[in-house]
Amino acid sequence: MTDASDEAKGIEQLYEYGERLNEAKDKSQHVEDYRSIIKAAESSSVKARQLAAQLIPRFFKFFPELSDSAVYSHIDLCEAEELGVRVQAIRGLPLFCKDTPEHLSKIVDILAQLLTAEENVERDAVHKALLSLLRQDVKASLSALFKHIESIDEPSPDENLRERTLFFIRDKVFPLKAELLKPQEQMERHITDLIKKSLQDVTGAEFKMFIDFLKSLSLFGERAPPERVQELIEIIEGQADLDAQFNVSDGDHIDRLISCLFMALPFFMRGASNSKFLSYLNKHILPVFDKLPEERKVDLLKNLAETSPYTMPQDSRQILPSVVQLLKKYMPRRKSGEETNFTYVECLLYTFHHLAHKAPNATNSLCGYKIVTGQPSDRLGEDFSEYYKDFTERLSSVEELARATIKKLTQGIAEHNKAMATATSDEAKTGIKVQKQNTTTGLRTCNNILSMTQLLHSKTPSFIGDKRINLSWKDAAKAPAPSSTTASGGKRPAGAANGSSNNASKKGRGAGGLQNQLVNRAFEGLSYGGRSGGARGRGGWGWGGRGRGRSYR
């Protein structure tokens, strides 16, 4: 009874302190009352500590000489064993900054560390407190939050803290950008600069998340000037590590390079330069194309094809020899025992057409054409007739193979239709639909090849520089979405990577808006479960170790 009586007496005293401070005109005269409230944070009574958690921040601004003592005692309450005390203390943290904004960065830092709380009600209180401070001073709050992500100079001792901070920014801050980022241009620039500083050590999923967010800002929107779009490209180039010496055995760099090129495509369409990407591909990647992992080759060639319409004439001239060399490799001069990789041929022919359209006379010395532009680079006085004969024989050979494959695939469509008519189970019908869809894609691939080769037999060919050819995998995006395994970055159907004559119909990327498997695979780690084993770095396609990418400081 004595303990209960003492507890009740202590709580009653706290209420008295609070009432006196509330009524006093000159609260500084009651410093001992506030000191007693702070001391109550050490009480063995749960109710007393909950009451202290309410009163400490309420009168904090009136006693600057006790500010350190008040904050440290309140932090202790945030770490109390009892959930009710912790939640009450967390809810009170924003009040420390209401009239004393100089404490805001410190309080945001404390709240960020509390994001690792496991109890939902506690984490919800942290989220609400942080959003309250973001609304009070978005610039200072964001700067304090991002310090837990920028972990190059000061590595985070708690990887879970970094992840939880990222989740909060992704799930709570980004969706409220219209409300929080004001004044708009100034705050969008501020968060852009913070994101740039955070990109030196990120996973593929994190990088894509940041790029998607930046794309959504007015700063980089559809009306943004060319230099802003180029700024995004430079961020992607930095992540692709285009200044690094290439090592063909570095699978992480290959994955990152191909995925970054894919992410850059929309910006090339908006006028940004692809020059640095193409220069790196031409110098480091295409010469060792044969040594790349098989499953990466098709992604690389598809990305190269899609970026080719946006290539400048000078870059087109530089990369054409490498493209022609690969074309000759995959367009045999005569029939051989090897299967023809029609997917590769489609990609390379499309790339060839668009590059040659920009630098037509470069093909004179590569393919023996007689294109006249009036420039010395026409090289019309030299004899390249053997090149023309070789190239057109290869074109004829691949046309013959494509026509034969079209015949087989057309027969396959008929067989699929018969099989569908007799199929009884849903599983069988689904399998047949997939086979039919793959066969249809194969037909598009072969028909595209014929459309592109037939224009190249003339000694003065007309190169395609418009959108008349719809790449086979781009059509596939209109088809029903594949199973969740494929969509999340799982294995392609058998044969999809090589695009051989019997399997030319297989899709290389899967349907949907994000058609690059490497990008899809990056999403697997970004959830509350951790990032592919909980560590950045090479595990789980983590895009390498610390220090990757360019410094944007």
pLDDT in tens, 343-370: 999 999 999 999 999 999 999 999 999 9
Whether 471 contacts 350, CB under 8 Å: yes
Whether 445 contacts 453, CB under 8 Å: no
What pLDDT, on a 0 to 100 scale, did the predictor assign at position 501? 41
Task: Count CB-CB contacts under 10 A for residue 489.
Answer: 18
DSSP single-letter state for residue 246? P
Across 188-205, average pLDDT: 94
Whether 43 contacts 82, CB under 8 Å: no
Across 227-250, average pLDDT: 94
Distance CA 373, CA 370 (A): 10
| DSSP-assigned letters across all residues of 269-314 | HTT---HHHHHHIIIIIGGGGGGS-HHHHHHHHHHHHHHGGG--HH
Distance CA 405, CA 447 (A): 10
> Which residue, 450, 458, 514, 469, is CA-closest to 488?
514
Task: Count CB-CB contacts under 10 A for residue 77.
Answer: 23
SS3 73: helix
SS3 128: helix
SS3 527: strand
pLDDT in tens, 129-142: 999 999 999 999 99
Task: Count CB-CB contacts under 10 A for residue 394.
Answer: 22
SS3 217: coil
312: left (phi over 0), alpha (psi -120 to 50) or beta: beta
> Which residue, 25, 103, 115, 92, is CA-closest to 62?
25
**112 residue type, one letter:** A
Distance CA 118, CA 494 (A): 43
Whether 247 contacts 264, CB under 8 Å: no
Q: Is the dihedral of CA 230, 233, 239, 242 positive or negative?
A: negative
The Cα angle at residue 13 between residues 11 and 17, in degrees rounded to 5? 115
pLDDT in tens, 319-349: 999 999 999 999 988 777 678 899 999 999 9
Distance CA 181, CA 139 (A): 9
What pLDDT, on a 0 to 100 scale, did the predictor assign at position 60? 96
What pLDDT, on a 0 to 100 scale, did the predictor assign at position 484? 34
Q: Which two tokens stand for residue 121?
A: 């009600």
pLDDT in tens, 465-501: 999 999 999 854 444 443 333 333 333 333 333 344 4
Q: Which two tokens stand for residue 219?
A: 């700063």
pLDDT in tens, 67-108: 999 999 999 999 999 999 999 999 999 999 999 999 999 999
> Which residue, 84, 80, 21, is CA-closest to 55?
21
Phi first, then psi, for residue 220 (nearest 5°) are -120, 20
pLDDT in tens, 501-529: 434 333 333 333 333 343 333 323 333 22
344: left (phi over 0), alpha (psi -120 to 50) or beta: alpha
Distance CA 319, CA 323 (A): 7
Confidence of residue 151 (pLDDT cuts 50, 70, 90): low
Whether 453 contacts 462, CB under 8 Å: no
What pLDDT, on a 0 to 100 scale, did the predictor assign at position 537? 37
Q: What is the CA radius of gyration of the chain?
A: 32
Whether 372 contacts 380, CB under 8 Å: yes
Predicted model pTM = 0.79
C-alpha dist (Å) from residue 541 to 116, 228, 544: 25, 29, 8
Largest CA distance in the chain: 113
C-alpha dist (Å) from residue 147 to 101, 211, 399, 426: 19, 19, 59, 52
Confidence of residue 35 (pLDDT cuts 50, 70, 90): very high
- Give 94's Cβ-side CA count (13 Å radius): 16
Whether 437 contacts 417, CB under 8 Å: no
379: left (phi over 0), alpha (psi -120 to 50) or beta: left
Give me the count of residues in the chain. Answer: 553
SS3 530: strand
What pLDDT, on a 0 to 100 scale, did the predictor assign at position 155? 53
C-alpha dist (Å) from residue 515 to 137, 314, 359: 39, 29, 30
Which has the minimum average pLDDT: 35-44, 183-192, 229-238, 527-536?
A: 527-536
> Which of residues 251 and 515 earns the better pLDDT score?
251
DSSP single-letter state for residue 150? -
